[in-house]
Amino acid sequence: MTAVELVGNALCLDFANTVNARPVAERDWLATPEEALTWAGAVGLAVEDPAGLAEALPEARELREAVFRVFWALAHGGQPPREDLAALMAAYAEGSGHARLDEDGDTYRLRWEDPRTVRVLLWEVAESAVELLTHGPLDRLGACPSCVWLFLDTSRNRRRRWCSMTTCGSRDKSRRYYATHST
């Protein structure tokens, strides 16, 4: 099985990246409940209801595409579609009704009433998206020109171009090298 790649530096961006290409995906971590459970485990979410997950997958895919369109627009200097912002807020509002604040050292942390329900996957993604939208850094959003994955550029010089240097970055550099040295 292919390993889950987490290159977004934010849960919501990694969720948007659960397909490896758009518009036609070769790999979709939300295609089956088993794959979705694998992805959830890779990001630290312990969902224990495969049957419930199967029912929630269409909604999860809709949320994924809304997250993608919102941050894709922002990464390219555009305005996010209002209906996608509304979809994020609906998922966030639903989750807020099932959350509480618990002390966590010097601060407080949002905790879910039932942390193993399949809905937590959607709520965590929505919470991550709202957090990124309201606190940024939106000026560090990027989109890989090869695979269209989204990421937060956490590099010191803010010049990250690809989702990953080992995949798309390496391929792009190889293409450019062979284009200049093939004659």
As a whole-number percent, the residues of the chain with pLDDT over 90 amount to 61
- Is 6 part of any domain? no
pLDDT at 177: 47
Residue with the bigger pLDDT between 118 and 21: it is 118
Residue 87 CB partners (closer than 8 Å, separation 6+):
62, 63, 66
Task: Give the containing element (helix H, strand E) for 102.
Answer: strand 99-104
Under 8 Å between Cβ of 96 and 103: no
- Is 113 part of any domain? yes
> If pLDDT is split at 50, 70 and 90, which confidence band does 21 have?
confident
Residue 138, pLDDT > 90, answer yes
Q: How many CA atoms lie within 13 A of 147 on its CB side?
A: 25
Cβ-based neighbour number of residue 2 at 10 Å = 10
> If pLDDT is split at 50, 70 and 90, which confidence band does 160 have?
low
Which runs of consecutive H residues, i.e. helices, occur in 26-155? 33-42, 50-75, 82-96, 119-135
CATH number, domain with residue 88: 1.10.3300.10
| 70: its two tokens | 């919102």
Residue 64: burial class (beta carbons within 10 Å; 0-12, 13-18, 19+):
buried
User: How far apart (Å, rounded) are the C-alpha atoms in residues 97 and 120?
Assistant: 12
- Is 105 part of any domain? yes
If you average pLDDT over residues 87-96, what whole number do you get?
96
- Is 2 part of any domain? no
10-14, 34-38, 77-81: range with lowest mean pLDDT: 34-38
- Is 132 part of any domain? yes
Domain that holds residue 103: 11-181
Under 8 Å between Cβ of 126 and 92: yes
> If pLDDT is split at 50, 70 and 90, which confidence band does 50 have?
confident
- Is 5 part of any domain? no
Selection from 85, 73, 91, 87 nearest residue 138 by Cα: 73
Q: pTM of the full predicted structure?
A: 0.86
Identify the DSSP state of 2. P
Residue 155, pLDDT > 90, answer no
- Is 17 part of any domain? yes
Number of domains in the chain: 1
Residue with tokens 């509002």: 93
If you average pLDDT over residues 22-35, what whole number do you get?
84
If you average pLDDT over residues 52-73, what whole number do you get?
95
Cα→Cα distances 151→8, 57, 117, 141, Å: 4, 23, 27, 6
pLDDT at 179: 56
| 79: its two tokens | 């305005």
Identify the DSSP state of 76. T
- Is 142 part of any domain? yes
